[in-house]
Amino acid sequence: MLSQYSVAGKTAVVTGSSQGIGEVTAKRFADEGADVVVTSRSQEDIDAVAAEINDSDRPGEAIAVECDVRDRDAVEALVDATVEEFGGIDSMVNNAGASFMAGFDDISENGWKTIVDINLHGTFHCSQAAGERMQDDDGGTIVNLASVAGTDGSPYMSHYGAAKAGVVNLTTTLAYEYAGHGIRVNCVAPGFVATPGVESQMGVAADDVDRGEVERRMGRSEEIADIIQFLASEASSYVVGETITAKGVPDIEESPEV
């Protein structure tokens, strides 16, 4: 791989990495020589991911740290464990998220708060805790995961879309505030991606998606991991405060036939 795209020797924390985009990203970073911290609310699930990385011939190593991103003490402990094990933190990938489908009138206050807490408040906790450490060291990168639900709106997922819109806006503001500290903050807004969650809801598995096909509206986790790696590498050194949308063929209004 060209050196500017390399993450070798870096340390990355990937939240929500027990499955889907987070798991694929953690493995990708380890493939490329980065040490990774896999984390989610299920110790058993992340233990399995870390073991697979460490038992393979990947040059990067992994540790598993259980963490609920809504809990500030747990997030602080996550960052402390990262620094204790690997000596610092170079990249924070804020991938942890959750949602459920419901009409706006059917969302309870608790349901709304839960989704906003995980997706937006969790990003706040992780960015601030990692950012404080990065400011004490030599800077780093923060990559937030939003969604087209946050850029375009999303019927029956208003809580999720509102939270992800907040993540997009936070990315822009935080990028400005952190730039002087050598920290680049960017965001990825995926469309439909064939994760285990999407497969359970829509019946489309990753093996059903041909990455080489341009004309499609379903992506693969590997394609999002590519963008995350780019944003964590020196190849994106002039990309600051941006949200990269990855959603396949644009949905546009075609010209009427005359």
Give residue-wise pLDDT tens across range 139-182: 999 999 999 999 999 899 999 999 999 999 999 999 999 999 99
Give residue limits of the domains in the chain. 3-246
pLDDT of 204 reads 63
**Looking at the domain 3-246, which fold is it?**
Rossmann fold (3.40.50)
Which residues are catalytically annotated? 160
Q: Which amino acid is at 57?
A: D
pLDDT of 100 reads 93
What's this model's pTM, rounded to 2 decimal places?
0.93
pLDDT of 198 reads 64
pLDDT block averages, 10 residues each, the chain of length 258? 88 97 97 98 96 98 98 98 98 96 97 98 98 97 97 94 98 98 98 74 64 80 97 98 94 72
Give residue-wise pLDDT tens across range 185-215: 999 999 989 876 665 566 666 666 777 787 7
